[in-house]
Amino acid sequence: MESHLDSSSKHVENENEDEFERSFKEMLSTLPKGNSWGNFENLFQYQGFWLYPTYLKGVVSAQQQFQAQPSDIMLCSFPKTGTTWLKSLIFSIITRTSFDDSTCPLLSKSPHDVVPFMELHHAHFSTHRDLGIPVLATHAPYSSLPRSIIDSGCRIVYICRDPKDSFVSLYHFKVQIIRTSKNTQAQPIDLNEAFELFCEGENIYGPYCDHVLGYWKASVEHPDKIMFLKYEEMKDETVLYVNKLAEFIGYPFSLEEHKKGVAEKIVKKCSFENLSNLEVNKSEKDYRKVIQNKMFFRKGKVGDWKNYLTPEMAARLDQIIQQKLSGSGLSL
C-alpha cells in the first residue's frame, strides 16, 4: 500500500513537473522558430542549436537536474553518425563477462533500449548504473551538456561522420518517420530543400560543424576525458578502435581476453550485418512513438551520399565544412 510519505512526495514531484512544464513553455515561446523538415513540430534555436521541443525539453531538464558520476560514460554524437553502433559496442565491452553468446540483451533488445538517451528520459535519467552499466547517450552539443558532466570528469566518447553521409542518413530517417506518422500535417520534405537547410545549419542538433567543433576542441584540451572518433576510421579498423575504446572507458581487455579474441567477437556481434538481421532490429516496434527499431539500420555504408547528392551539392557542403573547420586541426 502507498504510504502517506510516498503520496506526499509524489505530490511534490507532480508540482515540480507542472512548474517545469510551465516554465519550459514560457521559454519556448521566446526562442527563434525554424523550419520543421516536414514534421508537425518546428525546430527551435536554443543556445545556438536547432532542436525539436521534445528533445529540447529533455536537454533543459538534464541541465537542471542530471547529476553525473565520475564513473559514468557519456556517449555523445550528432544524429546519424554511428550512435546505434557505438551504443552496442560500449554496452558489449562493459557487459562482456556478464552475458554469454545466448544471453546478451542485444539479441532481444534494440541498442537504444540498452543504452538510453539522456534527453528522451527527462526526470528519470536512467543510466542503468544499478546494473553496472553507467552509460548514457546524448545528441546535445558540448556547450549545452549539463554542468555536472563536465565537473564530474566522467569519460565522454564522441563519434562523428562525413556530413554528406550523415545528411543522407538523416534525410531518409526523416522521410520514414513522416511516412509512419499518423499526423496528417506531416509531409515528406524534398531532398533539395532539406539539403539547403542542412547547409545553413537548420536541422536537428545543427549546425553540424558547430556540434563537431565543440567536442573536437574539448577533446584537444582534455584528451584524457574526451575520446573523439570518426565513423569511417572505425569502419576501417574496428578491432583497433574497440581496443582503444575499452582502454579509454576503463574496461581494458586482459591478455587472456586478447588471446581469446574477445574484441574480435564483439566487433562481429555489433556489425551492421549481424545487428540488422536480428528480429528485434527488423521490427516495426515503436522505439518511441513514430520511430521504429528498424529505422536505425539502413545501409551502414561509407560514401552512400554518392547515390543521392550531385557532385555540385557534395562540393558545396565540403566547402562549407572545410571553411568552418579551417585552423581547428580537424578534417572530415
Question: Rounded to whole angstroms, how far apart are CA atoms 75 and 139?
Answer: 9
Site for ligand PAP in 71-130 (CB under 6 A): 77, 79-85
Strands 226-230 and 155-160: parallel
Beta-bridge partner residues of 155: 73
Q: Does 165 bind ligand PAP (CB under 6 A)?
A: yes
Cβ(227)–Cβ(248) below 8 Å: yes
Of 52 and 296, CB closest to ligand PAP:
296
DSSP 117: B
* 139 catalytic per annotation: yes
Task: Enumerate the H helices of the chain as residue ranges.
Answer: 4-28, 53-65, 83-94, 111-114, 147-152, 163-180, 191-199, 208-221, 231-236, 238-248, 255-260, 262-269, 272-276, 279-282, 311-325
Q: Applying CB under 6 A, which of residues 136, 275, 290, 309 lies at the interface with ligand PAP?
A: 275
25 part of the interface to ligand PAP, by CB under 6 A: no
Q: For the CB of residue 79, give the shortest distance to ligand PAP in the complex, in Å.
A: 4
Catalytic residue among 112, 122, 139, 211: 139
Nearer to ligand PAP, 20 or 99 (CB): 99
Q: CA 328, CA 213: separation in Å to the nearest integer?
A: 8
Q: Judged by CB, which is closer to ligand PAP: 71, or 274?
A: 274
Q: Does 296 bind ligand PAP (CB under 6 A)?
A: yes
Q: Measured between alpha carbons, how far is 255 from 192 in angstroms, rounded to an integer?
A: 52
Q: Which is closer to ligand PAP, CB of 30 or CB of 177?
A: 177
User: CA torsion, points 95, 99, 102, 107, in degrees to nearest 10?
Assistant: -30
Kindly state whether residue 211 participates in binding ligand PAP, applying the rule CB under 6 A: no
List 196, 232, 257, 304, residue binding ligand PAP (CB under 6 A): 304
Specify the residue, 115 or 197, whose C-beta has the smaller distance to ligand PAP. Answer: 115
Least separation in angstroms between CB 88 and ligand PAP = 6
Q: Which stretches of the chain bind ligand PAP, using CB under 6 A?
A: 77, 79-85, 165, 169, 172, 270-272, 275, 296-300, 304
- Residues annotated as catalytic are 139
